[in-house]
Amino acid sequence: MKKYSLVGLGAGVLAVLSMAATPVLAESTLELVKKRGHLRCQVGTPSPGFYQLAADGSWSGSDVSVCRAVATAIFGDPNKVEFQSVTSAVRFTALANGESDMLSRTATWTAFRDTQLGLDFTAVNFYDGQGFMVPADSGIKSAFELKGATVCVATGTTTELNLADFSRANNLDIQPVVFEDNNVRNDTYLKGGCDALTNDKSGLASNKAGFPNPKGHMILPETISKEPLAPAVRQNDSQWSSVVKWTVFALIGAEELGINSGNVDQMRSKPPSPEHARFLGVEGDLNKGLGLEKDWAYNIVKKVGNYGEIYDKYMGDGSPEGIAIPRAGSANALWTEGGLMYSPPFR
């Protein structure tokens, strides 16, 4: 289904609605999605690595892959998704008001968002942290050299709040230049309208990769925040939250178990362990509580891949689509390799 919509054009109307108000649904989200025949998944405005829109209207990227994995878990088809491209300023309103079934768009899991917006965050699919980018010829080598600088930043984000905290804590008197549209923000930075650009470091890498001259820009070494990025859903629908959460865990768990899109059929025909058999639906009934078919996790790996495959393709340097963020030694490595990526047991 090569289908997407733009949500956020009615920001003035949406802003007056309560972000904490969760609609009362006569049916669960899973039932509504099944009845509709496709998933409505919210992503951001096009950005390399995370959510890229091709000329033919098709979406790709790491967060897009999470949407496709959820659709595959439900329908066995990664294309049964309507992608909704949403600005940062209205993303949570659109989800809380029922316009989207889920959000998968570099959203940071925070206490306020998790407890006061009518939302539930599910499972971290990327560990990030905020940084700064400057022109390579600026002479600036550290974020602590930005005293009095103007810094371009997206509004309605933790990035904007962290920038204010960093400036205040270090007496830097940074002057934020705020934007709702990331493309306008980036264009302003490229034209010299601000001294630096701040974003999650993965976002900076994505921005840099899309610039006309990537080598003309440098990401400064400091990381000023924790940014655990996770898909989100509306509160008070535990089954739907579990579907999205365990879809992310299936991507990670498959990599832990050594299951990938190339060997999943062999693994299913001759599971090397009881956990492999449970994961692939050969034994047990782990699907029942989720309201899915027994082969839901098998379908995800077969048609979307495991976490490592997705990372290599879109976030690493394993393909032309990657934005060259090293995984080895980072928090996004598997726990067995010193990282934080970890799936609860499929038992």
pTM for this prediction: 0.88
Q: If one looks up domain 1-126+228-347 in CATH, what number appears? A: 3.40.190.10
What mean pLDDT, rounded, does the chain reach?
A: 92
Q: How confident is the model at residue 24 (pLDDT cuts 50, 70, 90)?
A: very low
For residues 150-165, average pLDDT: 96
217-227 pLDDT tens trace: 999 999 999 99
pLDDT at 5: 53
The per-residue DSSP string of 49-115 comes to TTBEE-TTS-EESHHHHHHHHHHHHHHS-TT-EEEEEE-TTTHHHHHHTTS-SEE-SS-B--HHHHH
Q: Domain 130-225 is classified in which CATH homologous superfamily? A: Periplasmic binding protein-like II (3.40.190.10)
* DSSP category for residue 182: H
CB 346 within 8 A of CB 279: yes
Contacts (Cβ under 8 Å, ≥6 apart) of 272: none
CA–CA distance, 308 with 107 (Å, rounded to integer): 20
Per-residue model confidence (pLDDT) at position 87? 87
Residue spans in the chain of domains classed CATH 3.40.190.10: 1-126+228-347, 130-225
Residue carrying structure tokens 């990526």: 341
pLDDT level of residue 88 (50, 70, 90 thresholds): confident
For range 273-287, the mean pLDDT: 97
